[in-house]
Amino acid sequence: MASSLPSRLYRSAINFTRGKQHHSSHVQVVDDLVECPCCGEFQQLEEIAPGTVARCVRCDQLLERRNKGGPLATPLAFCITSAALYLATLASSLMTLNLYGRERSVDLLTGPMELLHEGWGEVGILVGLVTILAPGIVIAMMGMILTAAFFEELPDWAPHLLAWYEKLRPWSMMEVYILGIFVAYTKLVDMAHVEVGPAAYLIAALMISMAATDQTLDQERIWQRRRVEGAIQLPDGNQVQVDRVSMADLGGHMPPPEHMLSCHSCGLVGVFPEPVPQTRSVGLCPRCGHNLCKRKNNSLSRTSALVLSAFVFYLPANLFPVMTVIKVGSGGGHTIIEGAIELWEDGMIPLSLLVLFASVTVPVAKILGLSYMIVTTKLRSKKKLMLRSKLFRIIDIIGRWSMIDVFMISILVAVVRFSSLANVVANAGVVSFAAVVVITIFAAHCFDPRLMWDVAGRNGQLPEDDARAGNAVSESSGTPSPEEQDKMEPVRA
DSSP 8-state assignment for residue 2: P
Cβ atoms within 10 Å, residue 454: 27
pLDDT greater than 60 at residue 49: yes
Residue 476: pLDDT band with limits 50, 70, 90? very low
Q: What is the mean pLDDT of residues 473-490?
A: 42
Query: What global pTM score does this model have?
Result: 0.85
pLDDT, residue 329, reads: 64
Instruction: Tell me the per-residue pLDDT of 230-245, one tens digit each, with 9 for 90 and over.
Output: 888 888 878 889 999 9
Q: What is the mean pLDDT of residues 449-469?
A: 75
Residue 251: pLDDT band with limits 50, 70, 90? confident
Write the single-letter amino acid at 116: L
CB 161 within 8 A of CB 118: no
CB 476 within 8 A of CB 380: yes
Instruction: Tell me the per-residue pLDDT of 179-227, one tens digit each, with 9 for 90 and over.
Output: 999 888 888 887 778 899 999 999 999 999 999 999 898 888 888 889 9
Residue 18: pLDDT band with limits 50, 70, 90? very low
Cβ atoms within 10 Å, residue 54: 21
Strands (E), 237-395: 239-245, 260-262, 269-271, 323-327, 330-334
Instruction: Tell me the per-residue pLDDT of 85-117, one tens digit each, with 9 for 90 and over.
Output: 999 999 999 999 888 778 888 999 999 999 999
Instruction: Tell me the per-residue pLDDT of 320-358, one tens digit each, with 9 for 90 and over.
Output: 998 888 876 666 778 888 888 887 887 778 888 888 888
CB 36 within 8 A of CB 59: yes
Cβ atoms within 10 Å, residue 486: 12
d(CA 375, CA 370): 9
CB 35 within 8 A of CB 42: yes
- 51 Cβ contact partners less than 8 Å away, ≥ 6 residues apart: 66, 67, 68, 492, 493
Mean pLDDT, the chain, integer: 85
Residue 20: pLDDT band with limits 50, 70, 90? very low
Helix or strand (DSSP H, E) at 204 = helix 198-216
Instruction: Tell me the per-residue pLDDT of 394-435, one tens digit each, with 9 for 90 and over.
Output: 999 888 888 988 999 999 888 888 776 778 888 889 999 999
Measured over all CA atoms, what is the biggest interatomic distance in the chain, rounded to whole angstroms? 100
